[in-house]
Structure 1
Amino acid sequence: MLNQKNQGTPLSLRRPRKDSAPTLSSLALAISSSLSAGIAHSADANPATDATLDKLTVEEKVEAEKNPHAEPGAPYKVNTLSSPKYTRPISETPKTVTVIPKEAIEDSGNTDLADVLRAQPGITIGTGEGGNAFGDRYIIRGFEARNDVFVDGLRDPGVTTRETFAVEQIEISKGPSSSFAGRGTTGGAINNVTKKPSDFDFTRAQISVGTDNKQRYTIDNNFVLNRDIAIRTNLLYADRDVPDRGWASEERKGAAVAVDWWATDKLKFVADYYYLRGEDVPDGGVPWDSVEGEPVSGSKFYGQKGRDFWDTGSDIATLSAEYHFTDAFKVTNQTRHGKTTNEYVVTIPGLRSGAVPGGTPIGVSTPGVFVAASSQNRNQENTYLGNQTNFQWDTELADMRHTFVFGFEFSKEEAENLPYSDSLRSPNAGDPNNPNNYAWLQGGGTLVPNTDRYAELEVKTRSLWLMDTVTINDDWEVFAGLRHDSFDYRVNSGPTAYTGGTDGEVTNDESFLNGHFGVTYSPWANGNVYLAYSTSSNPTGEQFDAFTNCAYGGLCEDANGEFPSPEKNTNIEIGTKWELMDHKLLFTAAVFQVTKEDVISSSGGRGAPVVLTQVGEMRVRGLELGLTGNITPKLSLFAGATFMDTEITESDDPDEIGDPFPNTAETSANVQLRYQATPEWAIGGTVTYTGEISGGTPNGAPTDNTIDANTRLDLMTEYAFSKNLKARVNVLNVTDEEYYDALYRSGAPFTYIGEGRSATLTLDYTF
């Protein structure tokens, strides 16, 4: 059965490592065989002689909680992806893929998914606004990816808060990826791989305390019930104040349970449940002075104590089955039901001209300008029901090795938002503790639903795909894949929908075919070059949190009830990948071009006829570099850089042509180091550079407001008191740099301010 358990790991079908050394397991087998042969020989030579030998046991020393996808001895380097759709190691996959292992996440000191991804080259963070929800909002290579987040290969419903306490690794695929992931995925997709049971008993406890009243407790426990069943649990409690941001705070409660059961030598089941609750006092940022081109009062917190809140939740249950018909043919099936919630009232500061009741003048360049706080609120619930099946078949056809992956998926996603009434606002009374605010009432009162703004939607998706990786010879390998998606959309909005009527119902359905092609040339033992071409589609309404707000990716419908066709995305990529330092270090480089055609533009509304056009085109060209693994046995590295040229190449507004993308840093880089100075002591740190970012809406032109480039330094040191106990200190934003990482685009823009300096001590005990 142990051999069956190892069948799911993608291995190179092209050639074995030419410089590989024998493992301890192979040495044990060789020794055992030699001893057996020797005993047999002795018995044949002299049957009357009794030979008694001491029992010889050879065990391979491994870390109990080690990432099964990582390179032994180089924890920052990941070799394989978790999805059965990726049948080759990362170093042989003709596509840019960045994988962040849990070891790099822990050393970084970041715990929320948004904080981990914020540091990655080519990814920026967007703001929550009136048209889309506050929560994890990612922009990859200039394109929205907030609904392109997956957990173990299935979509994670809704815009919410995500944590890393139960994450084994984070896989970021770059460029259009519809053949692998379905709709959207213009700039890429994010897949969180959760921790699964292993073959070793262990318990790992971590206790963290730090500045800003930080406390964090996690327990990771793996229990092997017998040779067929193992159980893994992860528990989390965390609470802290946000550094230098007044009343802003974060609280996290989480649990994850996974059960791994080999029912037979060929049949395996995995059942897991994920639970997370976030209870925050949110930070809506600081106002932006468009005249001066800079933020106003960066150190001031504008939230409303006793009123603002942000509560999020996730409940996700998954059942997976894997059956091996033969060593070359297997099937995997996943069924998931998940629910996420996103509920908040958040104060958003902006600048207003003229007299503002309750407001006081501030020192901006324009006389008569005041800070006037507006508000955003949401009460949204997303549910997801999905089933995905993948067949994988390795075979020989026409004297060539083929690895086929074919499958199908059905999913139903639902969302509803019942926001709160604006009657909670008090335009004639400011907060006595924060007199610049155009404030919400403080404390007391009841959150009253506003049924006039109720919205609900349901989307059903049906998908089919076929992929084949063909090993032509030792030097050439070709990958090709096709995927067909049917996307049925229904939305109700307004009081009619809330009372169960259908007068406000709008329906739309789309079907689209996408593909991916790649060819890899590798006459060298350790490297290759590749060419890849891929496509994806953005159907109208795919950004569920926007509902019918077209400007933010919601459902678009013109005055005649006509819907636009899906936006089309193409990617061309030429790259190279090299295994260095005895396969302990992976170097990757790729030049790419992503083009979005038939870009949807909407005008009118609010009493005027809605006019839709699809003449827009957006293009990004760039270079991405990556280097992960061990430079020396003591020095580990996780580094990357992205250089992009973004441009609106066609538009129904001639003034927009030639503009760069909004919400995108065209230059970004990250270098994370860990140096094991002695067997007990390690030091390390991370330098993150983010270039200029302009405000603006998705698929639109940037505003004149631009966030300056910034560089952040984080440091880490770790000391092992024993093989079981170690302590780590993380200092984030060591220089206490005041920086900003997202900018809202409106006439009263605001910006998110990065966190100030903080320090954390973590005690880590494994037993």
Structure 2
Amino acid sequence: MTGNGAPAATGGSPDPGADTQVPPVIVEQDPDIEAAPAVVEAEPDPEPRPRPRPAPRTTASAPVSAPAATADGGYASQDAIEEAIFDLPVDGSTLNRGSSGVDGYYAAGTSSATKTNTLIMNIPGSVSIIPEELAEDQAANTLGQALLYVPGIAVQQGEGHRDQLTFRGQETTADFFVDGVRDDIETFRDLYNVQTIEVLKGPNAMIFGRGGGGGVINRVTKRADGVPIYEGTVQVGSWGRARGTADVGQAISPNAAFRLNAMYEDSETFREFSWLERYGINPTMGFKLGERTTLHFSYEYKTHDQNIDRGGPSIDGRPFQAPLETYFGQPFASLTTFDGHVATATLEHETTGGLQIRNHTFFADYDKLYQNIFASSAVNAPGPGLVELDGYQNIEARQNFVNQTDFSYSFAHGQHLRHTLVGGLEFGVQKNDAFRNLPVFVAPGSGIFTLDVPVADPTVFTRTLYNRPNRRRFTDLDTSSAFIQDQFEITRYFELIGGIRFDRFDVSFEDTLNGFQTSRVDDEWSPRVGGVVKPWESLHFYASYAKSFLPANGDNFGELSVTASDLEPETFENYETGFKWTIMPRLLLQGAIYRLDRDNQAVTIGPDTFARGLTRTRGKEIEISGYVTDKWQVFGGYAHTDSEILFAGDDLSLVGNSVESVPVDTFSMWNKYQLTKKWGVGLGVIYQAGWFAEANNAVKVPSYTRFDSAVYYDINEHWSAQLNVENMFDTEYWISSHNNNNISYGAPTSAFVTMKAKW
């Protein structure tokens, strides 16, 4: 993908003297449509400055020439690098949606980290971008699959029904965003309508609001941009995988465009009794309302139904080694169903004076059920050769409404000083109803609440009823936020970025089962400041400080209780320094060293009992992405993460322990090499050091190394095929955990064939 319709980043901020039109919706138009061109000519630039010229779209098999090196070994300029590579618009838009300047595995910039279209080189923080091409090359269909190759991220089990990550020592189920808006419902996210995935590491509350202590994941979706596309894929493979996608779009008038993305999958896994069925449909419309105004609409309907599998238990401080396919629990009483509707409207306008305005409205309605029976003890805990089974059922309904308005204005002082000011307002309403029931295993003449089963035969089919009420929780949340930020360029060699955000977090909570009611209002400030030193165009250094917060209700309204309601919000403080090096025109190397403190953490020390705690994470990260040569692309890196519990209230036994689910070392690297115009190969490796499954450090999951590979063949200009093999050496390993007795096996060798047609 080469950045269809998205402005490429051209620096910390655009040239204020350049034309500042909102880019038109219509990028390409059906030649059969006879109408006046939709692109409006640029107004004369009162202070001309060399600007990038549009260049042909490029692929690995059709390389472009790099700009000539200067005498000091650097390149003429970052603008020149991009001029030689990317499709660039002639406008000077600063407000942009997501990633820009994407070519293969390389992305030049993003607007998500700063709310302005900024080069990654000029962002004082760690940013990883997964383009659509990289995800497709790895046959990654879900968010969790695509993130496996991002250094420093550990993809967790999520109780078998949701996305859950640990990065920079912080576990999260809610720091997920779509086009910059919080998308915190607990489910698995499919990539059928995703253009890029952005991983922004470290506290990001200044831009995104609450949470985001370890970072945030932002999905940039495909939109109707007028570029004709008619594409479909079919994928089949091991364990009954069967999946199809479609992506169809074009201009339907000189000032309107339509696009439709759709997906259906019906698959199984290597585990007994597994099944999965999901589908999604996402129509979008784009309208050019005037020379400086665009309007975009999107609606998505998605379902996701599957069995829940929470892996197996532990024994003597390590995972219990059972046959890979063995299911622990009651498979017919363990499933999740998800039904979601999301509608958005985005209005973008630029005044004649150069003020850029973007208003984005997001509404979502979700219904979800998940119920599961799983191993709830270590082997031999109930008795020799036995393991205990327990479970619960959860029914949840959630509605999210968010409205964001962002403003951007760029101006200069003389020749060497330039400001890009950004401000914004956000208002949100969130309603969440959550019911939880506990199981009864129906035995002849009576019912029992847990089962002790032989570990040699842990799959049961006992009739199970979820008829013991446990929770009836109703949460209403109102949020209002405002932020302001300045990107201040002080000559070409130095740039400062600073901003602050105010959040008002007003939550009301009721549990009708026990009559408990409470409410709480938190007013929080989230600052961020950073500086970028640019001694050479190709090598930048940065340092930054950022602060974030998480209210006492936790990630997903699960921790607000009698004891937790009086807790002040948790705070995250991150100190970071690093570098960005454009080794070659399309090859970016990033490195960072950081310290992240999480204070006032609600550390669980017993059932519904919390204590104020403090954890600290020190880490080092390095990542490379892009083209090593015209035929060889890479993505991956190394991360060292040292996490420690410094304080846990009166529970001294946890002090000094490692934070749960945090591998000390991770390494990943994906390579793609274009052998000929038609043939290509891929090879990847993932290494993850051992980690502790809980904060008590009683069970350690061993390290693993996995190799993946792929073969690509372009049959002709319309048809292509690829074969992906995961875990090619059939390594036995555990891939994730949720606690000491829910530890998941990784899949054995698996192969998948994907056929793609494109017109």
TM-score by length of 2: 0.84
Aligned to 1:715: 709
Letter of the 1:281 counterpart: N
Aligned to 1:472: 490
Q: In the alignment, is residue 262 of structure 1 matched against residue 288 of structure 2?
A: yes
Q: Could you tell me how far apart the structure 2 residues matched to 1:702 and 1:448 are?
A: 30
Native 8 Å contact 1:70 1:77 kept in 2: no
1:422 corresponds, among 436, 439, 459, to 439
Kindly tell me the number of residue pairs found equivalent between the two proteins: 681
Compare CA radii of gyration and give the structure with the larger one. Answer: 1
Q: Any gaps of 5 or more consecutive residues in structure 1?
A: 27-59, 357-366, 497-502, 547-553
Q: In the alignment, is residue 541 of structure 1 matched against residue 553 of structure 2?
A: yes
Q: 1:308 to 1:85 in 2, by over 3 A?
A: same
Aligned to 2:600: 598
Shift of 1:257: 1.2
Native 8 Å contact 1:372 1:437 kept in 2: no
Q: In the alignment, is residue 278 of structure 1 matched against residue 304 of structure 2?
A: yes
Q: In the alignment, is residue 371 of structure 1 matched against residue 394 of structure 2?
A: no
Native 8 Å contact 2:518 2:565 kept in 1: no
1:311 corresponds, among 330, 337, 349, to 337
Shift of 1:601: 3.8
Aligned to 1:575: 578
Native 8 Å contact 2:372 2:391 kept in 1: yes
* CA deviation string 1:110-129 (max 9, x = no partner): 21112222342211233446
Q: In the alignment, is residue 12 of structure 1 matched against residue 11 of structure 2?
A: yes
Q: Could you tell me how far apart the structure 2 residues matched to 1:137 and 1:71 are?
A: 29
Q: 1:507 to 1:425 in 2, by over 3 A?
A: farther
Aligned to 1:80: 109
Relative to its length, the structure with more strand (as a share) is 2
Letter of the 1:381 counterpart: A
2:756 corresponds, among 756, 761, 764, to 764
Q: 1:464 to 1:8 in 2, by over 3 A?
A: farther
* CA deviation string 1:180-212 (max 9, x = no partner): 111111100110110112332120010111121
Shift of 1:643: 0.8
Aligned to 1:162: 189
* CA deviation string 1:334-389 (max 9, x = no partner): 11111233312222124467897xxxxxxxxxx72303322232111221011011
Aligned to 2:70: none
2:369 corresponds, among 320, 343, 350, to 343
Shift of 1:269: 0.6
- Secondary structure of the residue aligned to 2:137 is helix
Q: Could you tell me how far apart the structure 2 residues matched to 1:354 and 1:762 are?
A: 45
Q: Could you tell me how far apart the structure 1 residues matched to 2:342 and 2:52 are?
A: 42
Q: Could you tell me how far apart the structure 2 residues matched to 1:410 and 1:112 are?
A: 29
Shift of 1:161: 1.6
2:528 corresponds, among 516, 521, 529, to 516
Native 8 Å contact 1:352 1:369 kept in 2: no
Q: Could you tell me how far apart the structure 2 residues matched to 1:731 and 1:102 are?
A: 19
TM-score by length of 1: 0.83
Aligned to 2:509: 491
Q: Could you tell me how far apart the structure 1 residues matched to 2:237 and 2:617 are?
A: 41
Once the two structures are overlaid, the 10-residue window that deviates more, 343-352 or 143-152, is 343-352
Shift of 1:588: 0.6
Shift of 1:139: 1.6
Native 8 Å contact 2:283 2:298 kept in 1: yes
1:588 corresponds, among 590, 598, 616, to 590
Native 8 Å contact 1:452 1:494 kept in 2: no
Aligned to 1:96: 126
2:422 corresponds, among 405, 410, 418, to 405
Shift of 1:404: 0.7
Once the two structures are overlaid, the 10-residue window that deviates more, 667-676 or 370-379, is 370-379
2:560 corresponds, among 550, 555, 558, to 555
Q: Could you tell me how far apart the structure 1 residues matched to 2:127 and 2:704 are?
A: 25
Aligned to 1:30: none
Q: Could you tell me how far apart the structure 2 residues matched to 1:411 and 1:68 are?
A: 21
Aligned to 1:29: none
Aligned to 2:37: none
Q: Could you tell me how far apart the structure 2 residues matched to 1:22 and 1:292 are?
A: 59
Aligned to 2:219: 192
Letter of the 2:716 counterpart: S
Q: In the alignment, is residue 636 of structure 1 matched against residue 633 of structure 2?
A: yes
- Secondary structure of the residue aligned to 1:580 is strand
Native 8 Å contact 1:640 1:670 kept in 2: yes
Native 8 Å contact 1:520 1:528 kept in 2: yes
Aligned to 1:462: 480
- Secondary structure of the residue aligned to 2:536 is coil
* CA deviation string 1:60-108 (max 9, x = no partner): 9989xxx994546x41001222437144111211110111111110111
Q: Could you tell me how far apart the structure 1 residues matched to 2:318 and 2:547 are?
A: 42
Aligned to 1:361: none
Native 8 Å contact 2:438 2:470 kept in 1: no
Aligned to 2:403: 387
Aligned to 1:287: 313
Native 8 Å contact 2:393 2:439 kept in 1: no
Q: In the alignment, is residue 692 of structure 1 matched against residue 690 of structure 2?
A: yes
Letter of the 2:216 counterpart: A
Once the two structures are overlaid, the 10-residue window that deviates more, 449-458 or 338-347, is 449-458
Q: Could you tell me how far apart the structure 2 residues matched to 1:177 and 1:79 are?
A: 20
Q: How does 1:2-401 map to 2 (within 5 A)?
A: 9-13=8-12, 23=54, 69=99, 71=101, 74-83=103-112, 85-128=115-158, 134-243=161-270, 245-290=271-316, 294-326=320-352, 328-351=354-377, 368-397=384-413, 400-401=417-418
Shift of 1:315: 1.3
Aligned to 1:706: 700
Q: 1:760 to 1:466 in 2, by over 3 A?
A: same
Native 8 Å contact 2:196 2:219 kept in 1: yes
Q: Could you tell me how far apart the structure 2 residues matched to 1:94 and 1:492 are?
A: 42
Q: Could you tell me how far apart the structure 2 residues matched to 1:540 and 1:87 are?
A: 34
